[in-house]
Structure 1
Amino acid sequence: MAEPEPSPDMNLLRQLTLQKCNGDLTEEGAERLSQLLVSSDLARRTYFELTTVHSQLDWDLGSVSDEVASLLKEQLEDADARLPSPSSADSTRPMVWMVAIAASILLMAAGAWWRLSRPGDGPGARIAQIDDADSKAAVLGSVTELVPQSRWSIGQSAVAEPNVFRQGDTVSLDAGGIKLSFRSGAVAILDAPVTVNMLSKDRVRLIRGGIMIDVPKGAQGVAVETASTEVIDIGTIYSVRLAGRKTEVVVFDGEVDLKSTTTPVAGTDQQLESKRRIHAGEAVQVGEDGTLSRIVSVQRSSIQGQREFDPTKLVIASVRDNNVRDDFYSFYEVVPGGMGEDAEAFVDRPHEWNGVDTGGMPAYLVGGDYIKTFNNDKVADDLQVDLTLQRPATLYVLLDNRVEPPDWLLATFEDTGDQIGIDEVPRTEEFTWERLDDNPQVGAGHSIDRNHSIYKRVVKQGGAVSLGPNGNVPTEHARREGLVNMYGVVAVPLDQPQVQ
């Protein structure tokens, strides 16, 4: 028989929730609130009853938000003395009290507005137009199972539908993976274990685990917040993951604005807010004190990458380099089994690998693990890239034909004589890259802009392998303008039959 869920400290929960709504929650309080929410479904439901009420009032009553907050505080403090201690056998009673409290706050707040505003002017006009349907939790989107036998739950005080999520819902995924399709067009990929709270149509709060957000062109974005970090997308694909008390943010496409709370000012309780824009190909870890550090190597799960692979057969375990620069956050992405036609070549460019003709790329590369390097590092003379291989492998380096082969490559690799092409996406005047309907094109031999030579090395046992910088750029103009590509890396298990 399953052990009953421990009862949360409801008084503390309401106090911390109010502080969160008012924007004065301390770092210690945020940590305690997160613990309460992770430990109890009842706590999560109560939390979102309160935050939903606060958010709705703040939206509808705008100019009297301070008075609303004061009324909410009075009601909650009064409720502390009246609300019975919850038990697992009677988990619905706190919700009844929350509804009653919400109703009284709405009445009092409405009265406060009429005292402070003239008829027909300001927020009161909006209140008069609120339809009964708006008082119900709005449907934000639908749920799709990505992995057979995935286990998830969706809880809200009044509604529980397994394939629909609403404003205020808590979505908990314990096994497998699911896709949340927002009505706005955005998509969220959840990979177990993860718990996320649906705050509104364009905002979620991550409680545990990680989430990947994909916002197609023309869709409304979705912001993700954690206890100390807020990520606001600007038309992008990005992921957010909790790592203990730290938050990891990876931008795969587009840009995000990252807000974090810094260490309190010396001698005060005042915390400063830091804001930074993170671009495609960058990954950061936000510490407890708000400091940012670089995440060097990234690997999407099979669910996030929407590509099945056997984790026991991975070849490339990790990638590191010797870059030590301030404000430098570029990452390498390891793509297990991902090499093939139209595979993205770089983390910071939408260029793609393809066969140089319609016959396709060399068959021995197809299905190999490969590394998406960052093209911004193509002219770094002192670069060293260190790979960790989990097993014996054949390692391939794909070198741009416009550069001279570097000494380290000639000394440790052999030229296969084969070529692979790149389908490049043109750069705009703003130095950004935007996919067009006809560029890049699909398939081998189409729209090939550059050729790369394929070099090969047999690594007979797993372990560390070091690679050096890109080859010398022949002209100063080409070097200054970056008119070459960084090399690519592919690894194929040595015990896999080599197809010529």
Structure 2
Amino acid sequence: MMNEQDEAFRRVHDLVAAKLDGAATAEELAELKQLLHDEPALREVYVEYIQDTASLRWSFAHTTVPIEDDAVAEPYGSLRVASADAVEARATQRSRPAWRALLAVAAAALIGAGTYLLFFAGQGSGPAAGGPAGPLAASEAAAQAEESAAADDPNVVAPAAGERAASVATVTRTIDAVWENEREFPELSRLQVGQEVALRSGQIELIFDTGVEVVVIGPAHFKVNSHESMFSDRGTISARVGAAGIGFTIDTPTARVIDLGTEFGVAIGDDGETEVAVFQGIVDLEYGSSPDADADRRRLNKGEALRVGANGRVDRVMAIASDRFPVSASVRPSDGPETPIIRDVTDNIRAGDSNKFYRIVRSGLHEDSPAFVDRDHQWNSLTDKGLPLDLEGAEYVMPFNDDKFHEDLAVWVDVGQPANFYVFYSDSMDPPQWLKDDFVDTGVDVGLDEAKSVYHKNFALGAGAGESVDMTFSVWKQEVREPRVVQLGSVNKHRATFGYNMYGIATAPLKAKPIAAEVVQ
């Protein structure tokens, strides 16, 4: 027989599931609010429930989980989480039919700590009562329950006298992680302010309570400074920041990277050299004698990258391979070639004229692949038959579309093995002489699906082969029979000031031609 606490938790769960299902009545919503208001112990259980479901949602967001609709709930047990298996098992126990557990998992994005604040703002918690504000409210409420357990945890840095360390992030995944100093952080570990993590090799993924997603590849060392900042003096880090996490900051020995809602990467060398690349959105980069007062600042937009040297010198990063910065295992693209074809890309654009980089995409060209680092345009086949030639899966380069404005442009592509080298050139422009001299028109075409812009307000991206193609590009080819650098030039000046695009670049392994057998007399 269930006790009153078990019954109360079951009722809270059912009410939350009904809310997510869109079936909760006004009376049920009021009942949920009242239950959480009247029972402090139940609020603590509710906060832990939010944390557990948020971790589940992160871990299984890209995983198909088979669910039997007739699964029957077992009596509820302790809510303390010891392992991922225990979390998954408990998710099944908590639900009436098991599909409601998955609704609860999805709840984290919609209710999470925000629901907690909605219920208690002005009632002894939240900004109105001097309590914690924003998404951190849930973790602050749960920190009391974690404090005693953390006292015996050797991974937790002791807080300063008179202070209580707050847990602000969760380790969501580890991949082949080898730790320094025998201090391990298994999946679902909570990281506190002041926590230091040293990773000899492998990958660790974590999510801050503000929703900021961070992926780190070793060797790396970082420290959690607060719910919205971290410091790293070694390692390669990628971060994805939503609206709730704007302002998230990564400090390094030579720079400070301040997010303004974006996806970006930071690589820190052993000497403190810091490389910053922006894949979506905007970041502010501060550098100088101190990353605090009177520091120099540059704003980096999508497709831009800079390197701050150990001596404080700032340089443009010309090319970044897609495997340079880590990505979450749950969204990792297919692996690229065992031996990369393109080793580097450089150009003759003068320092200061541009901060944009060429992105070398190892995972290959596919339908709806992004075409340029500074636009959302996509490459597509013209029909539903798929990409022509050997372009499917080809290693390719994302130039920046603004390259088209450089009339004397020279681009050098370092090819490391025999390959078919392709250039996609728009049919809206006459082919330049360098293209006609060194390449052959294959007679086949690919399409560009252009995103909405200030120039094309009615455009929208489609999905799939042959869908929403706005411009046709001829595919030109050159055979590169041995490793060498291929030089490309500028596009012919277009009659319009807008409505045309930079060319594309792709490579595929050059297959050896069979040698004819000798005729024996």
Out of 450, 468, 482, the position equivalent to 1:447 is: 468
Deviations 1:211-267 (A, max 9, x none): 011124565452111122111111111111113332111111111011112499xxx
Q: C-alpha displacement at 1:304, in angstroms?
A: 2.2
Deviations 1:368-422 (A, max 9, x none): 1100000011131111101111101100000111111000001111111111111
Q: Is the 8 A contact 2:337 2:363 kept in 1?
A: no
Alignment of 1:30-69 (within 5 A): none
Counterparts of 2:185 and 2:484, CA distance in 1: 50
- Structure 2 equivalent of residue 138 of structure 1: 167
Q: Is the 8 A contact 2:423 2:477 kept in 1?
A: yes
Alignment of 1:41-440 (within 5 A): 102-103=160-161, 106=162, 135-145=164-174, 147=175, 149-152=176-179, 162-164=187-189, 165-216=191-242, 219-243=245-269, 244-262=271-289, 272-301=294-323, 304=326, 306-309=332-335, 312-428=338-454, 439-440=460-461
Q: CA distance change for structure 1 residues 160 and 144 in 2, over 3 Å: closer, same or farther?
A: closer
Counterparts of 2:315 and 2:277, CA distance in 1: 12
Q: CA distance change for structure 1 residues 273 and 218 in 2, over 3 Å: closer, same or farther?
A: closer
Counterparts of 1:357 and 1:311, CA distance in 2: 27
Deviations 1:154-188 (A, max 9, x none): 999xx966532332222222222222122322211
- Structure 1 equivalent of residue 492 of structure 2: 471
Deviations 1:290-329 (A, max 9, x none): 3321111111327725234356421100001111142521
Counterparts of 1:368 and 1:451, CA distance in 2: 19
Q: CA distance change for structure 1 residues 327 and 386 in 2, over 3 Å: closer, same or farther?
A: closer
Counterparts of 2:325 and 2:204, CA distance in 1: 8
Count of aligned residue pairs for this structure pair: 356
Counterparts of 2:325 and 2:283, CA distance in 1: 22
In structure 1, the residue corresponding to 2:390 is in which secondary structure? helix
Out of 463, 477, 493, the position equivalent to 1:456 is: 477
Q: CA distance change for structure 1 residues 496 and 490 in 2, over 3 Å: closer, same or farther?
A: farther
Identity of aligned residues (%): 31
Q: Which letter does structure 2 place at the counterpart of 1:424?
A: E
Q: C-alpha displacement at 1:452, in angstroms?
A: 0.9
Where relative contact order (Cα < 8 A, 6+ residues apart) is larger, the structure is 1
Q: Is the 8 A contact 1:337 1:369 kept in 2?
A: yes
**TM-score, normalised with respect to structure 2:** 0.62
Counterparts of 2:434 and 2:353, CA distance in 1: 29
Contiguous gaps of at least 5 residues in structure 2 = 1-129, 131-152, 515-521
In structure 2, the residue corresponding to 1:409 is in which secondary structure? helix
Q: CA distance change for structure 1 residues 374 and 225 in 2, over 3 Å: closer, same or farther?
A: same
The alignment yields a C-alpha RMSD, in angstroms, of: 3.2
Q: Is the 8 A contact 1:421 1:452 kept in 2?
A: yes
Counterparts of 1:208 and 1:297, CA distance in 2: 21
Counterparts of 1:214 and 1:453, CA distance in 2: 36
**TM-score, normalised with respect to structure 1:** 0.65
Out of 500, 507, 517, the position equivalent to 1:491 is: 507
Which of 364-373 and 193-202 deviates more?
193-202
In structure 2, the residue corresponding to 1:245 is in which secondary structure? coil
